[in-house]
């Protein structure tokens, strides 16, 4: 038990210090009144380039990423490296998209992606679908952050079995819930600085120190190749093969398209001060991708170092590697980096989900004319509920289940692309077509995921995102990312549905936005709380 | 930040935007990098070239940002 005392002490000290920052954050860049969603939920909509960089970076590159991506490489090899092309292509893809979303949200004081859909297509139903999709996709994502913390706690020997073993995890989340409730988006924005400095420090040391101890990078890759060659699995190895290349590409592309549809990414973008901040960040954020690439390779280092995961939990390989390779005090810092790395995205995600509930469910169906303070209060309480839900998820349900759900969440969030992302550029689609497309993509996507088996994890259904084309009756071993196929289906149905709706002269919703709204910038006139309730 | 005269509309259109296509397409062409040799500092091509694409991404987005400011 006391084997890990140094690590536990350092972890605890850093964790507590950062939590203190979370509470103090309420006073940071203090507004006259914190009681509105623009302040509590979007930090005053006034963050500059640096804060935004740390905030979005801390938001997208989560603790779970740091733990799960190397675990993927550890288990499957090259296929897990998709995270790198994924985070390279996402920024040029959304470069021109996010500035339009920022502008229209700025003019119309929108807070969530569903708000935009409501204003653009005048359809409460479509907005509700987008909101629910966002909430459902975000929930398991928050739970995954807990898995990141849990992996660290397990390695330090403070979690594992017995009722009390979950206590540290619960304590960590209660602290998180308390300061998010108090400070809103300002808390993760401030903590993100510390988180990133710690992570950069740990990874820089790791990529120099660990390969040196293992005989250099060449030896690390060769060791990994030797391990994969010895396993019977057909699709592992340090290179791709003929059957999983298309999966690699479609997964990278699909994930890149999905990333900025997640409500928490949108929250980070809308919190920035002006368009320039966003554009500058789209070119500066890939610095994190470099970090991610190096982190991913920790998986191969773990292979060469002969790391064994705790139990069957492959997410523990990175903490185990640190524990094995680093002196105790530095391992403690590394664990704190992962733990704190979980707090930032978990806070932003819960805020984003809470905002969706407040703006697109509470405001639409419960209280149509809430005051700013009422909105902020509903969001604060909802953010607590969301976090309690995430903790229960982890405690009561097999963690593997939330990993599956997160996978499903990625496929689901992708189905909001036609209404949110394409909606920013064209009003061609009819709301009925978009709703039909959403339903088709969602149904088709879930059906495909249901049919994917995975003998390695003993799954008869929901065994991964690689959909074998053989399931469609094609004579091939090639696999494709299920979300990508679902999106194609969605688009197809949305187009046909739009044509049918137009032909049938079905009434379309009103568009509350004007072309100029999509290029507006800081200082341009705003519309006060528009027409979110005007159109039907 | 540019200020705008009343009535004048800003536009996001620019030929420079086409440069964004490069970092989107390159990482998706697996035949470019799905090989072990040549290695660089011990890294197989698969890894170092994809890491190099990060630099391409940064360069392209930075150029577009600067030129359309």
* pLDDT of the residue at A260: 92
ipTM: 0.88
**Chain A residues close to B65, C-beta within 8 Å:** 279-280, 282-283
CB neighbours of residue A354 within 10 Å: 31
Residues of B in contact with A95 (CB under 8 A): 20, 61, 64
Residue A276, by phi and psi: left (phi above 0), alpha (psi -120 to 50) or beta?
A: alpha
- Poorest-pLDDT segment among A247-251, A404-408, A510-514: A404-408
CA nearest B12: which of A276, A81, A442? Answer: A276
* Nearest chain A alpha carbon to B63: A283
Residues of chain B with Cβ-Cβ distance to A516 below 8 Å are 9
In tens, the pLDDT along B10-50 reads 788 888 889 899 999 999 998 998 888 898 988 999 999 99
- H/E element holding A172? helix A167-183
Is A46 near chain B, with CB under 8 Å?
no
Mutate to test the interface with B, among A95, A214, A425 (most CBs of B within 10 A): A95
Residue of chain B whose Cα is closest to the Cα of A274:
B1
CB neighbours (10 Å) of residue A470? 12
To the nearest whole percent, how much of chain A has pLDDT over 90? 31
**Per-residue CA distances from A72 to A86, A229, A322, A527 (Å):** 15, 16, 17, 47
Please determine, for residue A181, whether its predicted confidence score (pLDDT) is greater than 60.
Answer: yes
Nearest to A278 by CA among A299, A252, A260: A260
- Mutation target for B interface from A88, A251, A292: give the one with most B CBs within 10 A: A88
Query: Cβ A92–B41 below 8 Å, yes or no?
Result: no
Among chain B residues, CA nearest to A288: B54
Cβ separation of A245 and B30 shorter than 8 Å?
A: yes
Determine the Cα–Cα distance for residues B52 and A89; give it in Å rounded to an integer.
Answer: 13
Cβ of A528: how many Cβ atoms within 10 Å? 7
Looking at residue B9, what is its pLDDT? Answer: 62
Per-residue confidence (pLDDT) for residue A162, from 0 to 100: 56
Q: Helices (DSSP H) in A421-526: which residue ranges?
A: 431-450, 482-503
Q: Does B33 touch chain A (CB under 8 A)?
A: no
- Whether the bond between A450 and the residue before it is cis, its omega within 30 degrees of 0, is no
Is a pLDDT exceeding 80 seen at residue A532?
A: no
Which tens digits make up the pLDDT trace of A324-365? 899 989 989 998 988 888 888 998 999 999 999 999 999 989
Q: Among positive and negative, which fits the CA dihedral A54, A60, A62, A68?
A: negative
Probe site for chain B from A245, A247, A283 (most B CB atoms < 10 A): A283
Residues 35-64 of B with CB under 8 A from A: 35-36, 39, 41-44, 46-47, 50-51, 53-54, 56-58, 60-62, 64
Confidence of residue A161 (pLDDT cuts 50, 70, 90): low
Q: What is the rounded average pLDDT of the residues A242-253? A: 88
Nearest to A96 among B12, B35, B54 (CB): B12
Residue A524 near chain B (CB below 8 Å): yes
CA proximity to A109, closest of A33, A37, A188, A43: A37
Q: Choose the closest CB to B58 out of A81, A283, A515.
A: A283
Backbone angles phi, psi at A428, to 5 degrees: -65, -40
pLDDT at residue A139 greater than cutoff 50: yes
More confident residue, A117 or B7: A117
CB contact under 8 A, B42 and A252: no
Q: What is the largest CA-CA distance in chain B?
A: 59
The CATH superfamily holding the domain A2-417 is Sodium/glucose cotransporter (1.20.1730.10)
Half-sphere exposure of A268 (CA within 13 A, CB side): 33
Sign of the dihedral through C-alpha A446, A449, A451, A457: negative
**In the predicted model, what is the mean pLDDT of chain A?**
86
User: Choosing among B14, B65, B69, which should be mutated to test the A contact, i.e. which has the most A CBs within 10 A?
Assistant: B65
Is the separation of the CB atoms in A149 and A356 below 8 Å? no
For residues A234 and B39, give the distance between their C-alpha atoms in angstroms, rounded to a whole number. Answer: 24
**Looking at the predicted structure, is the pLDDT value of residue A200 above 70?**
yes
Reported as a pLDDT band with limits 50, 70 and 90, residue A2 is very low
pLDDT at residue A286, rounded to an integer: 87
- Considering the entire predicted model, what is its pTM? 0.89
Q: How far is B7 from chain A (nearest CA, A)?
A: 10
**Could you give the 3-state DSSP secondary structure of residue A7?**
helix
CB A346 within 8 A of CB A142: yes
Q: Are the beta carbons of A84 and B10 separated by less than 8 Å?
A: no
């Amino acid at each position: 038990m006391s084997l890990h005392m140094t690590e536990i002490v350092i972890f605890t000290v850093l964790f507590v210090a950062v939590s203190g920052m979370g509470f103090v954050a309420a006073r940071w860049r203090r507004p006259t009144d914190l009681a509105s969603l623009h302040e509590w939920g979007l930090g005053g909509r006034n963050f500059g380039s640096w804060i935004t960089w740390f905030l979005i970076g801390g938001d997208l590159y989560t603790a779970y990423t740091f733990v799960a991506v190397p675990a993927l490489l550890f288990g499957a090899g090259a296929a897990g490296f998709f995270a790198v092309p994924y985070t390279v292509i996402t920024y040029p893809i959304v470069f021109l998209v996010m500035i339009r979303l920022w502008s229209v949200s700025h003019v119309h004081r929108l807070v969530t992606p569903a708000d935009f859909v409501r204003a653009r297509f005048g359809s409460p139903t479509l907005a509700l679908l987008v909101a629910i999709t966002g909430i459902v996709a975000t929930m398991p994502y928050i739970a995954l952050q807990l898995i990141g913390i849990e992996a660290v706690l397990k390695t330090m020997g403070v979690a594992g079995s017995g009722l009390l073993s979950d206590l540290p995890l619960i304590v960590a989340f209660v602290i998180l819930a308390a300061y998010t409730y108090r400070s809103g988006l300002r808390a993760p924005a401030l903590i993100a600085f510390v988180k990133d400095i710690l992570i950069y420090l740990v990874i820089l040391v790791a990529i120099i120190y660990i390969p040196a101890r293992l005989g250099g990078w060449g030896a690390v890759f060769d060791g990994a190749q030797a391990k994969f060659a010895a396993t019977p699995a057909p699709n592992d190895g340090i290179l791709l093969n003929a059957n999983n290349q298309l999966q690699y590409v479609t997964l990278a592309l699909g994930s890149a398209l999905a990333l900025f549809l997640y409500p928490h990414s949108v929250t980070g973008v809308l919190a920035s001060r002006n368009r320039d901040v966003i554009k500058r960040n789209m070119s500066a954020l890939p610095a994190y991708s470099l970090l991610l690439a190096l982190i991913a390779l920790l998986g191969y280092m773990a292979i060469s170092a002969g790391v064994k995961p705790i139990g069957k939990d492959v997410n523990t390989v990175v903490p185990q590697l640190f524990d094995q390779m680093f002196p105790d005090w530095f391992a403690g810092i590394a664990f704190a980096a992962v733990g704190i790395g979980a707090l930032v995205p978990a806070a932003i995600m819960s805020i984003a989900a809470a905002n969706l509930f407040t703006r697109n469910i509470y405001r639409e169906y419960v209280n149509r004319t809430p005051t700013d303070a009422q909105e902020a209060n509903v969001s604060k309480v909802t953010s607590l509920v969301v976090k309690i839900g995430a903790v229960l998820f982890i405690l009561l349900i097999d963690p593997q289940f939330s990993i599956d759900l997160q996978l499903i969440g990625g496929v689901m969030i992708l189905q909001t692309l036609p209404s949110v992302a394409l909606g920013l550029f064209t009003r061609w689609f009819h709301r009925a077509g978009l709703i039909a497309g959403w339903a088709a993509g969602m149904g088709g996507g879930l059906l495909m995921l249901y049919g994917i088996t995975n003998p390695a994890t003993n799954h008869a259904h929901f065994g991964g995102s690689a959909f074998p084309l053989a399931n469609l009756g094609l004579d091939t071993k090639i696999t494709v990312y299920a979300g990508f196929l679902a999106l194609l289906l969605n688009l197809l149905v949305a187009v046909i549905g739009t044509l049918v709706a137009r032909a049938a002269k079905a009434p379309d919703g009103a568009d509350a936005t004007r072309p100029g709204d999509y290029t507006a910038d800081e200082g341009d006139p705003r519309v006060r709380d528009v027409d979110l309730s005007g159109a039907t | 930040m540019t200020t705008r005269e009343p009535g004048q509309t800003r536009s996001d259109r620019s030929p420079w935007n086409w440069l964004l296509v490069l970092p989107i397409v390159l990482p998706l062409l697996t035949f470019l990098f799905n090989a072990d040799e040549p290695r660089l500092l011990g890294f197989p091509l698969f890894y170092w070239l994809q890491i190099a694409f990060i630099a391409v991404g940064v360069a392209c987005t930075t150029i577009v940002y600067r030129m359309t400011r």
